[in-house]
């Protein structure tokens, strides 16, 4: 019975590792950040986004509002024409900042944590 449980578990681990490599790709280094080369393939809630970034391992996380600004100022490409989650919360527990990295600072909004937006992972180096 134990052998039968190992096979599905190995399959799930290989799927997570495969997705991690595809999302992280060749990280882009700017200032003190590494930025994943690709977005996650689907939009997600803030809670799902935090969990998905954490699942990448090795300190990957959602960028802060200021880090999204760094991506804009450094003209990091490959972003969808849509909003991206930041880890920066506002107005208590119910909202976080989102931004369009291609639009810049003036395009930050409070967004309910249960709504969906794009996700790009970052980590310190």
Q: 28-32, 35-39, 49-53, 70-74: which has the minimum mean pLDDT?
A: 70-74
pLDDT band per the 50, 70, 90 thresholds, residue 13: very low
Q: Is 110 helix (H, G, I), strand (E, B) or coil?
A: strand
The confidence score (pLDDT) of residue 75 equals 72
DSSP state of 115: S
Total length of the chain:
125
The confidence score (pLDDT) of residue 113 equals 86
The confidence score (pLDDT) of residue 112 equals 83
pLDDT band per the 50, 70, 90 thresholds, residue 98: confident
Q: Stretch 60-68: mean pLDDT, rounded?
A: 91
Q: Stretch 57-78: mean pLDDT, rounded?
A: 85
- Which residues make Cβ contacts (< 8 Å) with residue 61, sequence separation at least 6? 50, 53, 54, 87, 121, 122, 123
Q: Is 105 helix (H, G, I), strand (E, B) or coil?
A: helix
Q: Stretch 61-70: mean pLDDT, rounded?
A: 89
Q: What's the whole-model pTM score?
A: 0.76
* CATH annotation of 2-124: 3.10.100.10
């Amino acid at each position: 019975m134990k052998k039968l449980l190992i096979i599905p578990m190995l399959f799930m681990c290989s799927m997570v590792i495969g997705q991690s490599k595809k999302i992280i790709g060749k990280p882009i280094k700017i200032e003190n950040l590494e930025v994943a080369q690709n977005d996650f393939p689907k939009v997600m809630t803030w809670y799902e986004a935090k969990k998905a970034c954490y699942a990448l391992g090795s300190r990957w996380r959602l960028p802060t509002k200021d880090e999204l600004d760094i991506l804009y100022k450094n003209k990091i490409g490959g972003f969808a024409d849509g909003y991206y989650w930041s880890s920066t919360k506002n107005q208590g527990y119910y909202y976080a900042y989102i931004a369009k990295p291609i639009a810049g600072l003036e395009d930050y909004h409070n967004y309910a944590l249960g709504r969906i937006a794009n996700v790009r992972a970052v980590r310190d180096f």
